[in-house]
Amino acid sequence: MEFEAWWLILFPLCFGLGWLAARVDIRHILSDSKLLPRQYFEGLNHLLNERTDKAVEVFVDLARNHSETIELQFALGHLFRKKGEIERAIRMHQKLLARPELKLHDKQSAQFELALDFMKAGLFDRAEELFGKLDDTEFARAARRHLLDIYQQEKEWKKAIETAQQLRDTSHTYQHEIAEFYCELATSSITRSQPDEARQLLQRALAEHRKCVRANLLLGELAANEGNYDAAIEAWLKIESQDHRFLPFAARKLLDAYDRLGKAEAGTVLLKGFLSTYPELDMLDVVVERIAASESEAAAHDWLREELRRNPNMTGLLKLLEAQAKAAPPERQAELDTMLRLTQESTRGLSMYHCASCGFKARQYFWRCPACNDWESFLPVRGRTRA
């Protein structure tokens, strides 16, 4: 590449322009900083050193003596809310809203912050009103997300569906949540003895999210309650193609339906087949109880031993030890009791369901985690900490 003489002029020129721009920026920053009150830097220093209470005292005094510091008052309101001083946060944001010279953007921002204060205080009706006024503003989407939280806490599932539909985009379709909202409505309809309405809502849930296991579980229960056991079995068997890990949730219901149809053996064979195909399924208890009831305790133990040889697991071992301890002669009772106790202690975690989002543990399965409020985040296999 040939050297061009004019580069000798270009390089110093670019350097000089950059130096000049930097000087102008630095002078501008220094000029602005001189206009800031000394208390501002004092409060900032407290914040940097994690002395929040001291910072709040300084900023309150600063805001009182310098009414033009709108950004500072917003920050102060946020600090109050973060510290749990909700009343002070509300008063701060209400005072901001009352200022007649407030620009439109700042007014909308104050409305949003005040709505957050009301939400934190549990005043959902007042928060909902303010969030609703922020449609067609840059705060609309964030307001709708908070409205969705409110509607879920208040169990206003119809409003939750409408809001989630407004929020859906390519990054988040909300299909899982909307399907669960329809299931919640259906559960309410079942409680009010309105099965037809419940069935329609569950079909909407499946139209929204075809892998909504909960919808088919409830459809099966509706059919079984009406004595239509063939339809109930059909609904529950669809769970295998949705997520086979949920099959244990329908295991006892399936056996009961087959019993009602006079096909008890077919039901037992079905569950044995599921365990053969999906060894991780949590339905050993159900199959062992069924074999013991329909054949004998000895037959159930023989089947369990064979199952353990094929698929060794702690749950099956615990079940076998329990059976052996029951039938043990007196001279072996103490030994087996000790083995059983140690095994129970080591497998205690296997009896818990885990939330994949936050790790919350519970003996009961929840469609919505009580800790993080995520839907369908509990793993359907006990003892699992991740999918």
**Binding site for Fe cation: which residues?**
355, 358, 369, 372
* Integer Cα distance of 324 and 321 in angstroms: 5
* Integer Cα distance of 381 and 255 in angstroms: 20
Residues in the chain: 387
CA dihedral 215, 218, 220, 222 (to 10 degrees): -130
CA distances from 19 to 13, 51, 62, 69, 357 (A): 10, 39, 36, 33, 51
CA distances from 233 to 9, 257, 258 (A): 86, 7, 8
Q: Would you say the C-alpha torsion 145, 376, 356, 370 has a positive or negative sign? A: positive
Is residue 361 within 8 Å of residue 353, measured between CB atoms? Answer: yes
Strand blocks (E) in the chain: 353-354, 361-362
Identify the bridge partners of residue 362 per DSSP, sorted by sequence position: 353
Strand blocks (E) in 112-237: none
Identify the bridge partners of residue 239 per DSSP, sorted by sequence position: none
Q: Which two tokens stand for residue 99?
A: 């200022």
Q: Which two tokens stand for residue 330?
A: 């007196």
Render 156-200 in DSSP notation, one character per residue: -HHHHHHHHHHH--SS---HHHHHHHHHHHHHHHHHTT-HHHHHH
368 phi/psi in degrees, rounded to 5: -130, 125
Is residue 151 within 8 Å of residue 160, measured between CB atoms? Answer: yes
121: number of Cβ within 10 Å: 15
* Integer Cα distance of 179 and 376 in angstroms: 11
Rounded to a whole number, what is the largest CA-CA distance in the chain? 106
* Integer Cα distance of 265 and 142 in angstroms: 56
DSSP annotation of 376: T
* Residue showing tokens 């103490």: 334
Q: Which two tokens stand for residue 128?
A: 């909902």
Residues comprising the binding site?
355, 358, 369, 372
